[in-house]
Amino acid sequence: MPNRAGLRLMHVHAHPDDESSKGAASTARYVAEGAEVHVVTCTGGERGSVLNPRMDRPDVLENITEIRRAEMDAAREILGITQHWLGFVDSGWPEGDPKPPLPEGCFGLVPLDEAVERLVRLIRSVRPHVVTTYDERGGYPHPDHVRCHEVSVAAFEAAGDPERFPEAGPAWQPAKLYYHHTFNRPRTQALHDAVVAAGLESPYAERLESWTPEPEWDARITTRVECAAYFGVRDQALLAHATQIDPDGAWFAVPLEIAQEAWPTEDYELVVSHVPTTVPEDDLFAGIETPVA
Ligand SMILES: [Zn+2]
């Protein structure tokens, strides 16, 4: 096992639970190898719906903010991460046609520089070598995910420039920026095929039918991090978000051993690198020298 002591990775996510559904197994692997992994959660998830029928109760809905904080605390312990709230309010998922305007004061409406400055301050204090976020589509088109992308990309660049936000601490330039590509179509197809081959019912049949292949999009993946041994940890972290995850739902419909064999990696796109590296890579820290203790 490589020794990652002294290396720091920062994932920037929109809501509590995103850290457990995207990149959680690679997180667990890097923590096991000695890296420090930080998760920044932009919003409190105050407007998330309750997605687990067992938790869809009035007492849960009334205390959703506190409950989601407690869920995040549990997931943090399971993953072995340090977690930071950026302190913005969930924009919610706009429902209706046409979509209603975003609620006043939410993350999606905060002036960009206000959010960027908060993230720059955190980057300069944590001093991560690698930062991850969502692609420009947000991974899925939730306004907070798209905003998370915009804020992260801007903060990655600004953190290293001493003239930007001079009040936010001494400049620190992270070496690499990645986008998550965990939920790519080839992976979904591979999981589907493996489940069907095992004689089980696939949770992905409908999804794949309506999902037009986008080979150019998938070709953006540069980096596949082997982390199958940590899929179980990822599942435990996901289950800690009890209001958001239905234990009988699609998340857990593919048996662990089948998933480990069919697609043993989490996948990323290297967007910026200030260190020499060649793609394809199998490691987010590739090209970064391990700091001398
Ligand atoms: Zn989210």
Ligand 1 center to residue 199 CA distance, Å?
33
Report the run of H or E that residue 287 belongs to, with start and end.
none
Burial label for 139, CB within 10 Å (0-12, 13-18, 19+), is buried
Confidence of residue 118 (pLDDT cuts 50, 70, 90): very high
- pLDDT at position 144 is 97
pLDDT averaged over the chain?
95
Whether the per-residue pLDDT at 141 is higher than 90: the answer is no
Measured in Å, residue 145 CA sits from the centre of ligand 1 at: 6
Cα of 287 to ligand 1 centre, how many Å?
30
Around Cβ 50, how many Cβ atoms within 10 Å?
17
**Does the structure show a pLDDT above 60 at 2?**
yes
Report residue 272's pLDDT band, with 50, 70 and 90 as the boundaries. very high
Integer Cα distance of 11 and 80 in angstroms: 13
Place 158 in a pLDDT band, splitting at 50, 70 and 90: very high
Predicted pLDDT of residue 250: 83
pTM to 2 decimal places: 0.96
Give yes or no for a contact between 267 and 187, defined as CB atoms under 8 angstroms apart.
yes
Residue 144 alpha carbon to ligand 1 centre in Å: 7
Angle at CA 260, nearest 5°, toward 257 and 266? 155
The rounded Å distance from CA 124 to ligand 1 centre is: 24
Query: 35-76 pLDDT, tens per residue?
Result: 999 999 999 999 888 999 999 999 998 899 999 999 999 999
